[in-house]
Every structure is written in C-alpha cells, then in structure tokens.
Amino acid sequence: MPPLGKPPGKPFPQRGGIFFRLLFLMFFMVLLFLVYLVRHPLLGLAGGFWVVDEAPQYSDAIVILGDDNYFGDRAARAAELFKAGLAPRVIASGRYLRPYASIAELEEHDLTDRGVPAGAIVRLAHHAENTREESAAISQLIAARGWKRILLVTSNYHTRRSRYICAREFPPGTILRVVAARDPVYDPHNWWRDRTGLKIFGHEAIGMLVAMWELRHSDVQTSDSADAFAYPTVAGLYHAVTVRVYR
C-alpha cells in the first residue's frame, strides 16, 4: 500500500529544481544584458581581427594582390613603400578581365601615376579565381626570380587571410611581411553599421574557413623573422643604395 499523500508511481515534486532554473534564467538574462552593453567593443575586436599590418622592412619585391578597389588604395600603399626605398620593384598581380586586358594593367597604371617608374614594375597577369590560386601564381614568379624577401600589400580586411594562404603557398624560406592598405568601405571599428561592411566581414569569415580546410595538410613555409629583415644581405644593401640613388 503506497504512503498517504503520494500518488502511486509519482515522486514528490522537486521544488529546488524550479528555483535553480529561475536562477539560471536570471543569470543568462544578466549575461545577455552585459554583452549588449559591450557589444561595440566586442564587434570592434572582431572586425580588427582580420587586419594584419606588419612593420615594412627592406625586401626584394613588393607584391600587390589583385582586385584593388575603385580608388587604387593597394597600389597607392605599394607606391609609398617603393618611394620609401623598401624594395627595388613592385609586382602588379591581377587576373585577366578579357583576353587582351587584366587587372594587372590597371595596377601598373595606378603605380606609374603615383610615381613608380615603369621599369620597376613587374606585371603578373593570370587566370586565378581566388586568393589561393593567385598566391600560387605569385609563388612561381618568386621562385623563378630567386626573390627571398617579400612585402605583400592588400586591403586591410584581406590581410589575415592572405597571410595565412601565402605563408603556405610561397616558396620555402621566403621572408614574408604583410602590409595593410586602407579601404574606405571597411572600417574595423564600425563594420557592422552598413551593408558593405557586413558583407566583407562575412566573406572573410567564410573565406578563412575555406582556406583552413583546403590547406589543412599544408605547413607554414615562410618566415617573418625580424632578425632576417634586420640584417640584409650585401645584394640587398646594393639594391637599397641603387633605389635611393635612382630617386
């Protein structure tokens, strides 16, 4: 015979369980409120995560990744580095738009307009459809010319993904530094306020995941050693002096 006051087969209700559920719900609501209060700093940190801007040092070549923006900001940053004597040449990399025209030609035009001599520009037109394919084309050129020190210039939002890919695609032993070019359509601290910023952030997030998956079996082959940049070779010093005298 079951005890009085207890229906057969049913345990007494646990009042403590309801209390802890309410406590957890209150804690969760407070946590959401705190996240809401600091949403702007958190979003700013997320937006800044994609930006890598390393101190430029003397290199064998400056490389501009293709698909520069309307204002040619990547080319403008590369021209600044060249005129500062940080490399004797600039590689204008860009995909073909037509069988007879490429983005590399547009970049070459932007560079000459900004004071880079035509003889210091290496045009690299290719059929790459993404950053990984472009880095592979650039890697072949770097290996063929025997260049070891590279300054890579691309838009600020594109720098982290580019560094990840190029570090695994460039020839072994290449010393790589990535320099960010400002882009008016992407502000790392306010990217969520307009549609373009949201699209760029989402594109980079998805692109980074794809790159990590595609290169999951590839190891980092480049170096960004400060010591390697701090002690240039005799050939490097010669090129540096040549650029300064030429200017």
Task: Tell me what pLDDT residue 20 has.
Answer: 75
Task: Tell me what pLDDT residue 26 has.
Answer: 78
Looking at residue 62, what DSSP letter applies?
A: E
Residue among 223, 208, 56, 48 at smallest CA distance from 132: 208
The full set of domains in the chain, from first to last, is 53-181+191-240 (3.40.50.620)
The neighbour count for residue 82, using CB atoms within 10 Å, is: 25
Residue among 78, 88, 79 at smallest CA distance from 58: 88
Chain position carrying tokens 């050693």: 225
Query: Could you read off the pLDDT tens digit of each residue along the chain, which spans 247 residues?
Result: 555 555 555 555 555 577 777 777 777 777 776 666 667 888 999 999 999 999 999 999 999 999 999 999 999 999 999 999 999 999 999 999 999 999 999 999 999 999 999 999 999 999 999 999 999 999 999 999 999 999 999 999 999 999 999 999 999 999 999 999 999 999 999 999 999 999 999 999 999 999 999 999 999 999 874 443 443 433 343 333 333 333 3
Pairing between strand 121-126 and 90-98? parallel
Looking at residue 92, what DSSP letter applies?
A: E
Residue among 231, 158, 165 at smallest CA distance from 201: 158
Task: Tell me what pLDDT residue 77 has.
Answer: 97
The neighbour count for residue 233, using CB atoms within 10 Å, is: 13
Rounded to whole angstroms, the Cα distance separating 111 from 91 reads: 10
